[in-house]
Structure 1
Amino acid sequence: MPNASRKIVAVGAIVVLAAGILVFPSLAPNPYILSSGVLVLNYAVLATSWNFVGGFTGYISLGHGALAGLGGYATGLLATKAGMPSFAALALAGLLVAALAVPLGMAALRVRGASFVIVSIALVLILLLVFQSWASFTGGSRGLVVPRPFDLTRPEHHRVFYFLFAGLLGVALLVWWLLDRSRFGLGLKSIREDEDKAEALGTPTFTYKLIVFVVSAGFTALAGGLYALWFGDLDPVFQFSILTGSYVVLMALLGGVRNLFGPVVGALIVGSALEYFKVEYGDTPLHLVATGLLLALVVIFMPDGILPAIGDLFRRFDRTRRSSIREVTAAELRDQRKAAV
């Protein structure tokens, strides 16, 4: 497929995806389906935020759920304890978590591979213990009730936050796209391919990793804070769950971590599947089994993700449609030699 045709197909796919997201609230048959759409968009923002680290540097973090939980609790506590307006609390919470990500990143990013994964899991468990034990401040196991910013009916409340999450997703995608085409993004990709070689060639690898980790933490915190304002009730067991980080990684891997829209596609598929599994098998561990099987299928059959697999399919189909000039010329020469003999 020529480059111009590929661009047309890509633009068409983007337009269809954007149109589908925008018209979904009008097509949702009931408030539950609309609330599921809000959750899926929340997952899309989280997966895209995770992809700043996972897609650019190749570092796999299972602890991004902790950053989302911090954003949610920071937003809720600023609104309830400090009496701040909801969206001012959300913005300040994003800045605070991004600032906290600096020392966290300086500690965590000094290790690689499995060690980094273990450190990210430890962060989730530590924060779970802190927020569950500090009941006088966080509400502990009783939870924290967050005042909702709008006095709306339930369907309208879901509709407003659906578009707020869609707007946040658009900003995150734009920043990822800009980074992908920048000199800074090129340095991050060199870390992903070979960190030692990149450092030997003069790339300040630790600084680059820290910066992109802070950016990722900021977007993750905003997603968590927006979820707190939408849902209105925070529970440390849910907010600081290993499953959240696992779901986010699954979504990004399924769609394709090196593609701008990969995490979004993965979130649409996995998020919808999670809601279906919870409805059908929520009273049993079967919804976790189904999610695990989905992850196994992705790793076995599409290790690079859906979008890269589709791209490879198009390229393979294109090669079967037209052979190269060199192949045709060789065949003609062989036929000419046979005829001469």
Structure 2
Amino acid sequence: MLNASRYLKIGAIVLLAVAVLAFPSVAPNPYILSAGVLVLYYAALSTSWNFVGGFTGYISLGHGALAGLGAYGTGLLVAKGGLPPFLALFAGAAAVAALAVPIGFAALRVRGASFVIVSIALVLILLLVFQSWASVTGGSRGLVVPRPFDLTRPEHHRVFYYLFAGLVTVALLAWWLIDRSRFGLGLKSIREDEDKAEALGTATFAYKLIVFVVSAGFTALAGGLYALWFGDLDPVFQFSILTGSYLVLMALLGGVRQLFGPVAGAIIVGVALEYFKVEYGDTPLHLVATGLLLALVVLFMPDGILPAIGDLLKRFDRTKRSSIREVSAAELREQRLAEAKGAAR
């Protein structure tokens, strides 16, 4: 029989799905709808990041670069290659996944802080390349990507909102399947103790490389979908270290070992970023708020919000069961006392 916490989880998932599907119908204006698209974009990126960060424990700040590659790959194939938009989307993602193989061979041979530095270097190198190669990428002028649909602005946002929601769903399903597979068990053994896992016969490097390529493919799909939605690519924005930092914050905030952890973090951080941009413009207050939020998470909820809520529910459930046992014991004592009095009489 399902316990209360299981019912709560299923109910929360159903409510989240209903809220996501209904949001375009209740959004008061096109800007709010576009903010919803952006939040789902962050959710797709953070879930893609969690294939590496959640399973192996490797903290990558370079996933923004993979999203930028996916965006520019899709944009260039549409704008200069003449491919149909969604064929270009999947072709660009496949190219990024293929490129992730040599990148992974180089980056995954180091661990800890060294891996973080290598991932930052990837972002900076690609930023310089795409800014300097103006004849192909447009350089600092940017790259304009033709819209795939001839729709009004609100309808354009609505269509891409559901496309991003579909991508997040597929990424979550893939993460869930890996989490319950033997392959996922090997990845989690790397996260807990990589040296011990390797000593026990796990092909740690192969496991890391495979999941890195899977993560790169999903990240590139999110970046390419963003290019088709937004239609204007700037290398400074696409290859920003801040993007990778946001992804890490979102995953840590929600819980890296949780299926819906990155999604919860993306909703909180994405909404907060949009609020600060609207209220305070281009001031750096959103960076201050992001730093404070990260500090609070590390100090008070190191495992994330969803695990903290789960622990609270378990504690409440234990208290409830304990109180029932205590009442039963009291009743039993009263019954025995009555029996003893009856025997004495």
Q: Do they fold alike, i.e. is TM over 0.5?
A: yes
**Which residue number in structure 2 is paired with residue 261 of structure 1?**
260
- Give the structure-2-normalised TM-score: 0.93
Counting only pairs closer than 5 Å after superposition, residues 277-288 of structure 1 correspond to structure 2 as 277-288=276-287
Describe the superposition over 1:47-105 as per-residue Cα deviations: whole angstroms up to 9, x where unpaired.
Answer: 00000000000000011000000000000001111100000000000100000000000
**Displacement after TM superposition at 1:161 (Å):** 0.2
AA aligned to 2:63 is H
Q: Give the Cα separation in 1 of the matches to 2:16 and 2:77.
A: 35
AA aligned to 1:128 is L
Q: Give the Cα separation in 2 of the matches to 1:127 and 1:137.
A: 14
Matched, 1:121 2:93: no
**Which residue number in structure 1 is paired with residue 5 of structure 2?**
6
**Displacement after TM superposition at 1:16 (Å):** 0.4
AA aligned to 1:131 is F
**Which residue number in structure 2 is paired with residue 166 of structure 1?**
165
**Which residue number in structure 1 is paired with residue 68 of structure 2?**
69
Q: Give the Cα separation in 1 of the matches to 2:325 and 2:225.
A: 57
Q: Give the Cα separation in 1 of the matches to 2:321 and 2:221.
A: 49
Q: Give the Cα separation in 1 of the matches to 2:200 and 2:230.
A: 48
**Which residue number in structure 1 is paired with residue 340 of structure 2?**
none
Q: Structure 1: state its 5+ residue gaps.
A: 337-341
Q: Secondary structure at the match of 1:25?
A: helix
Q: Secondary structure at the match of 1:93?
A: helix
Change (3 A) 1:7 1:318: closer
Q: Structure 2: state its 5+ residue gaps.
A: 337-345
**Displacement after TM superposition at 1:9 (Å):** 1.4
Counting only pairs closer than 5 Å after superposition, residues 63-142 of structure 1 correspond to structure 2 as 63-142=62-141
Q: Give the Cα separation in 1 of the matches to 2:125 and 2:2.
A: 49
Q: Secondary structure at the match of 1:323?
A: helix
Q: Which has the larger radius of gyration?
A: 2
**Displacement after TM superposition at 1:319 (Å):** 2.3
Count of residues in correspondence between the two structures: 333
Q: Give the Cα separation in 2 of the matches to 1:327 and 1:12.
A: 30
Counting only pairs closer than 5 Å after superposition, residues 1-341 of structure 1 correspond to structure 2 as 3-323=2-322
Given that 2:42 and 2:270 are in contact with CA atoms closer than 8 Å, whether structure 1 keeps it comes out as yes
AA aligned to 1:243 is L
AA aligned to 1:302 is M
Change (3 A) 1:198 1:328: farther
AA aligned to 2:21 is L
AA aligned to 1:187 is G
**Displacement after TM superposition at 1:328 (Å):** 9.9
Q: Give the Cα separation in 1 of the matches to 2:10 and 2:286.
A: 35
Q: Give the Cα separation in 2 of the matches to 1:330 and 1:110.
A: 59
Q: Secondary structure at the match of 2:245?
A: helix
Change (3 A) 1:204 1:329: farther
**Displacement after TM superposition at 1:4 (Å):** 3.0
AA aligned to 1:260 is L
Given that 2:5 and 2:313 are in contact with CA atoms closer than 8 Å, whether structure 1 keeps it comes out as no
- Tell which deviates more after alignment, 322-331 or 55-64: 322-331
Q: Give the Cα separation in 2 of the matches to 1:31 and 1:189.
A: 42
- Tell which deviates more after alignment, 2-11 or 266-275: 2-11
AA aligned to 2:109 is R
Q: Give the Cα separation in 2 of the matches to 1:120 and 1:311.
A: 32
Q: Secondary structure at the match of 1:322?
A: helix
Given that 2:5 and 2:314 are in contact with CA atoms closer than 8 Å, whether structure 1 keeps it comes out as no
Q: Give the Cα separation in 2 of the matches to 1:85 and 1:169.
A: 23
**Displacement after TM superposition at 1:327 (Å):** 9.2
AA aligned to 1:207 is A
Given that 2:132 and 2:139 are in contact with CA atoms closer than 8 Å, whether structure 1 keeps it comes out as yes
**Displacement after TM superposition at 1:241 (Å):** 0.2
**Displacement after TM superposition at 1:290 (Å):** 1.1
AA aligned to 1:217 is A
Describe the superposition over 1:235-288 as per-residue Cα deviations: whole angstroms up to 9, x where unpaired.
Answer: 000000000000011000000000100000110111000100111122311121
**Which residue number in structure 1 is paired with residue 343 of structure 2?**
none
The percentage of counterpart residues that share the same residue type is: 83
**Displacement after TM superposition at 1:330 (Å):** 11
Q: Give the Cα separation in 1 of the matches to 2:189 and 2:306.
A: 22
**Which residue number in structure 2 is paired with residue 339 of structure 1?**
none
AA aligned to 1:238 is F
Q: Secondary structure at the match of 1:196?
A: helix
Q: Give the Cα separation in 2 of the matches to 1:220 and 1:285.
A: 27
Q: Give the Cα separation in 2 of the matches to 1:35 and 1:278.
A: 14
AA aligned to 1:4 is N
**Displacement after TM superposition at 1:160 (Å):** 0.2
